Chains A and B, each alone.
Chain A
Amino acid sequence: MTDGKQDRKKAPLGWIALAVLVVALGVGILFSLGPWGDGQEKLRIGAILPLTGDSASWGKQGRWGIELAVREVNESGGIDGKQVEVVYEDSQAIPRLGVAAFSKLTKVDEVPAVVGDIVSATTLAMAPHAEEQKVVLMGISTSAPAITNAGTFTFRVWPSDNLEGAAAADWANSKGYKKVSVLHMANDYGAGLAGAFKSRFAGYGGSVVSVQSYAQDQTDFRSNLTRAKADAPDVLYIIGYYKDVALALKQARELGLSMVFMGPTAVENPNLLSIAGDAAEGLIYPTVVDFDPANPTKRQSEFIEKFRAANGTDPDWASSHAYDAALVILEAMKSGARTGEQIRATIDSRREFEGVTGTIRFDEHGDVIDKRIIIKTVRNGKFTVLAGTE
């Protein structure tokens, strides 16, 4: 039954591989723990991002944003003469892995603050641990309403979904649309925005004729779209990430749907255009960020230039917010805060920071408030501001 010759061949191979692995691990552990490096003491902060997995494109952008913020600080002499170092961990946008990453960052690397995550679910999962470990957790684009009350150590530079959902409803109402059909992704993002939209729109007397949700990895929306076709609303509000919205738009055109399409901020990504092509023309979406690449302020122009030079591509909402998230923490540390508690206290007392996404003003829950809303659209294959909505 067993082939003796194969046994002998495989046995040493397995042991060798194991030995190599163990040695590599040992070296790796030593390096990350021991006082190696150039002997200089460094200030460390952590960052948890979806560096791989489905949300990796934002994780990558987010990382570039953080890197730029840290590099700027280091190039101008660091903080108190010390260089700042970021330890990056990958959450893959999975809560369990985010918590494991957080555990490693706080208990092994002993960082006082963590920038992350892009996705709300992971941050919600990490929040109680941040509270327990007394480590500041700065969400990048974590928009779930639940984060408002997630803890005193949890902050975010992106406003709650309530704001964006309401903005979408406001716009739909201002155009006189009365019937809207919602198609949202079945996760905290989709459900949060859908809920916020629904209550605001109902308040205007509009009617949400149907709410459909789709699984996160769904690629075929034809039955959902056929349903929308049957419902014949004025607007179809598709809430998801660029990939599913792009596919839905593509399939909608193939099915002959011709109503107005709305989407969330997350669609602002060049990949939406490369997948949906012409089908994306006319898509309307609100952005609740003070960052319009077509109309940048001086500071924003500088940021875009530096980003482009360093990474070969333009920044998007993920990188600009990641930059600001890191910036807030670095600013707090510049005024002397070194532990999580000190950083929290500094942010709470100062409350206002100037970032590339405009003024970052925190309320008592650690939420960012007073953000401007811009309605944008896709025109001629580009993301542009919709006229008449400034």
Chain B
Amino acid sequence: MPVAVDLIVAILALWALYALLSTAFSLSFRVGGFFDLSVGASFLVGAYATWCCSRVAPVAVSTACGVVLAGVLAATLGRWLVAPLAVRVSPMALFVATLAILYIGQSVAALAFGTGALVLQSGPAATAEIWPVRVTYVQLLFGAVALAAVVALRVWLRSTPWGRFACAISDDRSLAGLFGVPVEKAIFRCYWVSGILAGLAGAYFVADRAVDPSQALTMLLSAMVAAIVGGEAILGAVLGALVLAVMEKTLGFWLQGNWQTTVTFAILLSVLIARGGALAQVARRRM
């Protein structure tokens, strides 16, 4: 029984991480219209900035710091690098450009911090034990944060003007423009939100595990899968994150050997096939 509980805790803890990063990616992807790998760079900034601040400040403050910096980076990159490119090149070329941004981000992190792993604090984290549940305070904190972030995002998307603009753009950009949506400004705000979400994921990552530059691509991959599997809505990523977390943890437990990733993706593939990829496009592109 304790084993099942441990697994559930692990699933929820992982869901929190994936939810944050995949919604960040989903927002950027569905509003921007291309695979935005620079979300990985925001993730790294969130992680490393939090780590830096934690050398002098308590965890909560450091996290806030890291997250804000991640948002700043995303907004800056978006405004000065990605947006100007976006009017000139195709979405696939934008994907390459953001890949380049990720490569650069990784190398800068490696130069500044080395390629070794960095942790917020050494040794096992403080754990809350209410038998049979064992969960670390970090997991509890960020689990709550992830939940709050998802709820806040939903509210933002549904009830605030900028959020609704974002939804409109993700549905049909040209039409949104025709109806008077300030497309560029809305996209800029989305960069902020996406950056903050990715930064939160990074802060969680360094607090709960250990960060090194190569983790960005790995995590981003899972985030991308979650975002696309979750369906067409921006918040579909949350569901996709849950599916992914469940699969990873249960397969990691049941399967011996290194079948975990293989089977996860095989199941993913089967889900997609079963769902039946119809001729309808998943997200409309710019016309």
Given a CB threshold of 8 Å, the question of whether A touches B is answered with: yes
| Residues of chain B within 8 A of A6, CB atoms compared | 84, 88
In the complex, are the beta carbons of A254 and B215 less than 8 A apart? no
| Residues of chain B within 8 A of A302, CB atoms compared | none
Q: Does A387 contact B (CB under 8 A)?
A: no
| B-binding segment of A123-131, A137-145, A214-222, A293-301 | A214-222
| Residues of chain B within 8 A of A384, CB atoms compared | none
| Residues of chain A within 8 A of B215, CB atoms compared | 217, 219
In the complex, are the beta carbons of B257 and A247 less than 8 A apart? no
A210 in contact with B256 given A220-B209, A226-B10 (CB within 8 Å): yes
Residue of B nearest to A220 (CB): B209
Chain A residues 249-277 with CB under 8 Å of chain B are: 250-251, 253-256, 271, 273-277
* A226 interface neighbour in B6, B121, B218, B251, Cβ under 8 Å: B6
Chain A residues 194-247 with CB under 8 Å of chain B are: 210-215, 217, 219-220, 222-224, 226-227, 229-230, 243, 246-247
What distance in Å separates the Cβ of A338 from its nearest Cβ neighbour in chain B? 36
What distance in Å separates the Cβ of A46 from its nearest Cβ neighbour in chain B? 23
| Residues of chain B within 8 A of A174, CB atoms compared | none
Q: Does B180 contact A (CB under 8 A)?
A: no
What 0/1 pattern do residues 242 to 274 of B give for CB contact below 8 A with A? 000000111111001110110000000000000
| Residues of chain A within 8 A of B258, CB atoms compared | 186, 213-215
| Residues of chain A within 8 A of B7, CB atoms compared | 223, 226
What distance in Å separates the Cβ of A48 from its nearest Cβ neighbour in chain B? 17
Assembly CA distance A316 to B129 (angstroms): 39
In the complex, are the beta carbons of B212 and A54 less than 8 A apart? yes
In the complex, are the beta carbons of A276 and B122 less than 8 A apart? yes
Assembly CA distance A175 to B215 (angstroms): 38
In the complex, are the beta carbons of B214 and A217 less than 8 A apart? yes
In the complex, are the beta carbons of A278 and B84 less than 8 A apart? no
Q: Size band of the B side of the interface?
A: 35 or more
What distance in Å separates the Cβ of B36 from its nearest Cβ neighbour in chain A? 21
| Residues of chain A within 8 A of B209, CB atoms compared | 219-220, 247
Q: Does A52 contact B (CB under 8 A)?
A: yes
Chain A residues 271-323 with CB under 8 Å of chain B are: 271, 273-279
Q: Does B177 contact A (CB under 8 A)?
A: no
* B110 interface neighbour in A52, A186, A229, A256, Cβ under 8 Å: A52
In the complex, are the beta carbons of B115 and A255 less than 8 A apart? no
Residue of A nearest to B205 (CB): A219
In the complex, are the beta carbons of A247 and B122 less than 8 A apart? no
In the complex, are the beta carbons of A56 and B115 less than 8 A apart? yes
What distance in Å separates the Cβ of A381 from its nearest Cβ neighbour in chain B? 10
What 0/1 pattern do residues 110 to 122 of B give for CB contact below 8 A with A? 1000111101011
In the complex, are the beta carbons of B10 and A223 less than 8 A apart? yes
In the complex, are the beta carbons of A250 and B124 less than 8 A apart? yes
What distance in Å separates the Cβ of B104 from its nearest Cβ neighbour in chain A? 14
Assembly CA distance A2 to B215 (angstroms): 36
* B6 interface neighbour in A219, A222, A246, A273, Cβ under 8 Å: A222
A271 in contact with B253 given A219-B215, A243-B210, A254-B124 (CB within 8 Å): no
* B134 interface neighbour in A2, A230, A255, Cβ under 8 Å: A255
Assembly CA distance A341 to B88 (angstroms): 58
| Residues of chain A within 8 A of B10, CB atoms compared | 220, 222-223, 226
Residue of B nearest to A185 (CB): B258
| Residues of chain B within 8 A of A253, CB atoms compared | 124
Residue of A nearest to B250 (CB): A223
| Residues of chain B within 8 A of A250, CB atoms compared | 123-125
What distance in Å separates the Cβ of B8 from its nearest Cβ neighbour in chain A? 10
Assembly CA distance A7 to B112 (angstroms): 34
In the complex, are the beta carbons of B122 and A277 less than 8 A apart? yes
What distance in Å separates the Cβ of A220 from its nearest Cβ neighbour in chain B? 6
In the complex, are the beta carbons of A3 and B214 less than 8 A apart? no
In the complex, are the beta carbons of B6 and A211 less than 8 A apart? no
| Residues of chain B within 8 A of A251, CB atoms compared | 124
A247 in contact with B210 given A229-B6, A255-B6 (CB within 8 Å): yes
A278 in contact with B87 given A210-B256, A212-B257, A254-B134 (CB within 8 Å): no
In the complex, are the beta carbons of A56 and B134 less than 8 A apart? no
Residue of B nearest to A190 (CB): B258
* B116 interface neighbour in A57, A212, A279, Cβ under 8 Å: A57
In the complex, are the beta carbons of B6 and A53 less than 8 A apart? no
In the complex, are the beta carbons of B261 and A215 less than 8 A apart? yes
| Residues of chain B within 8 A of A226, CB atoms compared | 3, 6-7, 10, 253
| Residues of chain A within 8 A of B124, CB atoms compared | 250-251, 253-254, 277-279
Residue of B nearest to A184 (CB): B258
A-B contact list, 30 entries, CB within 8 Å:
A2-B87, A3-B88, A52-B115, A53-B115, A56-B110, A57-B114, A210-B256, A213-B256, A215-B260, A215-B261, A217-B218, A219-B205, A222-B6, A222-B10, A222-B13, A223-B10, A223-B248, A227-B253, A229-B6, A243-B212, A246-B117, A250-B123, A250-B124, A251-B124, A254-B127, A275-B117, A275-B210, A276-B123, A279-B123, A279-B124
The 5 A-B pairs at the shortest CB distance, nearest first, are namely A277-B123, A223-B252, A277-B122, A253-B124, A219-B209
Interface residues of A (CB under 8 A from B): 1-3, 6, 52-54, 56-57, 186, 210-215, 217, 219-220, 222-224, 226-227, 229-230, 243, 246-247, 250-251, 253-256, 271, 273-279
- With A223-B251, A254-B136 known, 19 other A-B pairs at CB within 8 A are A1-B88, A3-B84, A3-B88, A53-B214, A54-B115, A54-B214, A212-B257, A217-B214, A220-B208, A223-B250, A226-B3, A226-B7, A226-B253, A229-B2, A254-B124, A256-B127, A273-B122, A277-B123, A278-B123
